[in-house]
Amino acid sequence: MHETSDLRSDTVTKPTEKMKRAGMTAELGDDVMRDDKTTILLEKTAAEITGKEDALFVTSGTQGNLLALSVHSEPGSEIIMDEQSHTFVHEQGGVARIALCQPVTLPMKRGMMDLDRVREKVRAEDIHHPRTSVIECENTHNRAGGVPLEMEYLKGLRRIADECGAKVHMDGARIFNASVATGIAVKEYAAEADSVMFCLSKGLCCPIGSILAGPAEFVAKARRMRKVLGGGMRQVGFIAAAGIVALEEMVERLAEDHRRARVLGEAVAGMPGLSVDLESVRTNMVYFSVEKGPASELVERLAAEKVLCFAEGDNRQIRMVCHKDVDDDDIDRAVEALKKAV
Ligand code: TLP
223 and 315 share one domain: no
236 and 267 share one domain: no
CA 11 to ligand 1: nearest atom? 7
The pTM assigned to this predicted structure is 0.98
39 and 162 share one domain: yes
36 and 120 share one domain: yes
Q: Which residue is closest in CA terms to ligand 1's atom 7?
A: 9
Please give the distance, rounded to the nearest whole angstrom, from the Cα atom of residue 143 to the centre of ligand 1.
Answer: 11
DSSP character string of 73-111: --TT-EEEEETTSHHHHHSTTHHHHTS--EEEEE--BTT
222 and 273 share one domain: no
CATH number for the domain harbouring residue 75? 3.40.640.10
The tally of domains found in the chain comes to 2
Domain boundary residue, one of 249, 284, 302: 249
Residues 6+ away with beta carbon under 8 Å from 161: 135, 167, 168, 194
CATH number for the domain harbouring residue 301? 3.90.1150.10
164 and 68 share one domain: yes
CB hemisphere CA count around 205 (13 angstroms): 25
265 and 239 share one domain: no
- Cis omega (within 30 of 0) for bond into 38: no
Domain boundary residue, one of 249, 284, 305: 249
Please give the distance, rounded to the nearest whole angstrom, from the Cα atom of residue 173 to the centre of ligand 1.
Answer: 7
299 and 244 share one domain: no
Alpha carbon dihedral 42, 134, 185, 145, in 10-degree steps, equals 100
239 and 278 share one domain: no
Cβ-based neighbour number of residue 314 at 10 Å: 8
Give the pLDDT confidence score for residue 55 in this predicted structure: 98
Ligand 1 and 9: CB distance under 6 A: yes
Give the pLDDT confidence score for residue 313 in this predicted structure: 81
Give the pLDDT confidence score for residue 1 in this predicted structure: 85
User: In the chain, which residues have pLDDT < 50?
Assistant: none
Ligand 1 and 142: CB distance under 6 A: yes
Query: What domain range is 281 assigned to?
Result: 5-12+253-341
Q: Which residue is closest in CA terms to ligand 1's atom 18?
A: 61
Domain boundary residue, one of 231, 249, 267: 249
Give the pLDDT confidence score for residue 293 in this predicted structure: 80
241 and 282 share one domain: no
| Contact status, residue 286 vs residue 264, Cβ threshold 8 Å | yes
